[in-house]
């Protein structure tokens, strides 16, 4: 039987790093084994679920390229099915109605804790022979086995055994007519013919309960793989202050989706010493059973490094499409003037870890030069050789008939030779003239990207500054 997995977020917020990693691992395991990846929205919590969150999750998955083969399915559209399944269990004697109020349950729990015991339902209605009655507190509870234990082989954590005595009779159908999580997932995973449940390890505790429900329903139990959590840089649970932001924030911050995927796949999984993986390679090499067992911290610096590796080695035309998005965000339209974004990528790809940073640096060519760094002016435009250097290079540049980085490079070299100085004596004043600072890409690209007319105009202004 071919593999079927699902990613089942609850729409109570955006898709964050932890969810994205879970989705990625499901997706990779499925692609690797040639099966179907299903997206299911677990929206039975009506208080906290929102349409905006559903859209945010869909957007995040789309940006990352984790497309589903089926779905999205919505639990709220399957209410009849849960009711039917729950009532079926009651008829079969595997579940029963109970009528305690929330207050009574709360008191029960408090009493247990006070007595130093594990808080659990006391099973009052478990063997009650009371006839079915209408009651606003009526729920359906699962008749959990009281003896023996549940054993399962987790593909990541290994063998896990749980004594049934530790489990109480959980509510599977609420008084408001909605199923509870532990019941709905089982019914869904059965109906959707899920063969491999890959999810966060905060669910291992739920697994024994769910397995008992599978048994009660007379259905085969799927394989489980519980992924360790992703922690914030400080080792604490991911919070909004670091990491737990929407994956879309990473797009806004200038990361390539593929770079994020690469970072995420290595966070908790590895293949020897390899750090960089194309999506195709991930699919080929990934096996969820090889995932690590312990939690990992999120490290923005390593993500940035990976991002730069792709900015550097991807096809510049491809990178430029992403850069263009950032330029547009910044209010720049390259079709109206300024350098070709592809040329900008070529000049800056070794100097920017993010596209955001690249877009920022590119502003020197897209916007008029308005400010000069004082120290740069003092050091390079007021130098004794500055004026002759600028005049010399201006003449060479003006004479150029071809506007290419190579030609500009040649012009600067000739200009330096003409005044008997090294490249540095010409390049630095020229750099300040073009950018107003002493830091920029190689001087030939820096001048080239400005365009001939603008380059000459900026040199003229520098000459004036140098004189004054």
Partner RNA sequence: GCUCCCUUCGUCUAGUGGCCCAGGACACUGCCCUCUCAAGGCGGCGACACGAGUUCGAAUCUCGUAGGGAGCGCCA
Residue with smaller CB distance to RNA, 50 or 328: 50
Q: Which of residues 361-400 bind RNA (CB under 7 A)?
A: none
Give the active site residue among 102, 118, 240, 404: 240
440 binds RNA (CB under 7 A): yes
Stretch that binds RNA, among 186-194, 272-280, 330-338, 451-459 (CB under 7 A): 272-280
Candidates 215-223, 245-253, 303-311, 318-326; binding stretch for RNA (CB under 7 A): 303-311
Q: Does 421 bind RNA (CB under 7 A)?
A: no
Q: Does residue 77 interact with RNA by CB under 7 A?
A: no
In order, the DSSP letters of 86-154 are HHHHHHTTSEEEE---HHHHHHHHHHHHHTTS------TTTT--PPP---TT-EEEE----SSEEEEEE
- Pick between residue 292 and residue 321 the one whose CB is nearest to RNA: 292
* 152, 162, 224, 366: residue in contact with RNA (rule CB under 7 A): 162
User: Where does this chain touch RNA (CB under 7 A) — which range of 30-38, 63-71, 161-169, 329-337?
Assistant: 161-169
| Region near RNA per CB under 7 A, out of 78-86, 118-126, 211-219, 314-322 | 118-126
Annotated active-site residue 382? The verdict is no
DSSP string, 224-293: EEEEPPEE-TTSSBPBTTBB-SBHHHHHHTT--HHHHHHHHHHTT--BTTB----HHHHHHH--GGGS-S
| Helix, coil or strand: residue 171 | strand
Q: Beta 171-173 vs 158-163: how paired, if at all?
A: unpaired
Question: Considering only residues 34, 93, 116, 218, which one is a binding residue for RNA as defined by CB under 7 A?
Answer: 116
User: What is the smallest separation between the CB atom of 461 and RNA, expressed in angstroms?
Assistant: 19
Alpha helices in 274-354 (DSSP H): 279-285, 300-313, 316-329, 341-348
**Shortest spacing between CB 427 and RNA, in angstroms:** 4
Nearer to RNA, 290 or 460 (CB): 290
Bridge pairing between strands 139-142 and 95-98: antiparallel
Element (H, E) at 173: strand 171-173
Question: CA-to-CA distance for 123 and 171, rounded, in angstroms?
Answer: 11
Considering only residues 64, 346, 443, 450, which one is a binding residue for RNA as defined by CB under 7 A?
Answer: 443
Query: What is Dmax (Cα atoms) for the chain?
Result: 107
Contact status: 7 vs RNA (CB under 7 A): no
Q: Is 215 in the site for RNA (CB under 7 A)?
A: no
Binds RNA by CB under 7 A, chosen from 81, 438, 452, 457: 438
CA trace torsion 49, 54, 57, 58 (10° rounding)? 170
Q: Report, as residue numbers or ranges, the catalytic residues.
A: 240
């Amino acid at each position: 039987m071919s593999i079927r997995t699902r990613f089942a977020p609850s729409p109570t917020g955006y898709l964050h790093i932890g969810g994205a990693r879970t989705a990625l691992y499901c997706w990779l395991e499925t692609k690797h084994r040639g099966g179907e990846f299903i997206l299911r929205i677990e929206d039975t919590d009506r208080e906290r679920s929102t349409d905006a969150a559903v859209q945010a999750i869909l957007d995040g998955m789309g940006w990352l390229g984790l497309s589903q083969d089926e779905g999205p399915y919505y639990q709220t559209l399957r209410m009849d099915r849960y009711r039917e399944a729950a009532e079926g269990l009651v008829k079969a004697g595997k579940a029963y109605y109970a009528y305690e109020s929330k207050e009574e349950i709360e008191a029960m729990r408090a009493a247990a804790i006070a007595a130093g015991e594990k808080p659990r339902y006391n099973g009052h209605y478990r063997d009650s022979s009371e006839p079915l009655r209408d009651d606003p507190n009526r729920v359906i509870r699962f008749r959990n086995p009281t003896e023996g234990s549940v054993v399962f082989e987790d593909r990541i954590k290994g063998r896990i055994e749980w004594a049934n005595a530790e489990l109480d009779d959980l509510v599977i159908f609420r008084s408001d007519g909605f199923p509870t999580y532990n019941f709905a997932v089982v019914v869904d995973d059965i109906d959707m013919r899920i063969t491999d449940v890959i999810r966060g390890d905060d669910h291992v505790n739920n697994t024994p309960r769910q397995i008992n429900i599978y048994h009660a329903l007379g259905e085969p139990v799927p394989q489980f793989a519980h992924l360790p959590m992703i922690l914030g840089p400080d080792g604490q649970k991911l919070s909004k202050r670091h990491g737990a932001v929407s994956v879309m924030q990473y797009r806004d911050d200038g990361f390539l989706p593929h770079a994020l995927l690469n970072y995420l796949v290595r966070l908790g999984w590895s293949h020897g010493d390899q750090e960089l993986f194309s999506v195709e390679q991930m699919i080929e090499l990934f096996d969820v059973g090889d995932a690590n067992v312990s939690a990992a911290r999120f490290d923005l610096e390593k993500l940035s490094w990976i991002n730069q590796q792709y900015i550097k080695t991807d096809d510049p035309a491809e990178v430029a499409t992403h850069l263009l998005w950032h330029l547009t965000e910044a209010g720049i339209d390259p079709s109206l003037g300024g350098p070709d974004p592809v040329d900008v990528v070529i000049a800056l790809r070794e100097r920017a870890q993010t596209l955001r940073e690249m877009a920022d640096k590119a502003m020197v060519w897209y916007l008029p030069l308005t400010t000069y760094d004082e120290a740069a002016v003092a050091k390079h435009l007021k130098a004794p050789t500055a004026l002759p250097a600028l005049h010399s290079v201006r003449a060479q540049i003006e004479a150029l008939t071809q506007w290419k980085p190579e030609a500009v490079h040649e012009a600067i070299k000739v200009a330096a030779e003409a005044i008997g100085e090294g490249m540095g004596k010409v390049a630095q004043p020229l750099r300040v003239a073009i950018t107003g600072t002493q830091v920029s890409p190689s001087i030939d690209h820096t001048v080239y990207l400005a365009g001939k007319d603008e380059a000459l105009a900026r040199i003229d202004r520098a000459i004036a500054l140098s004189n004054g």
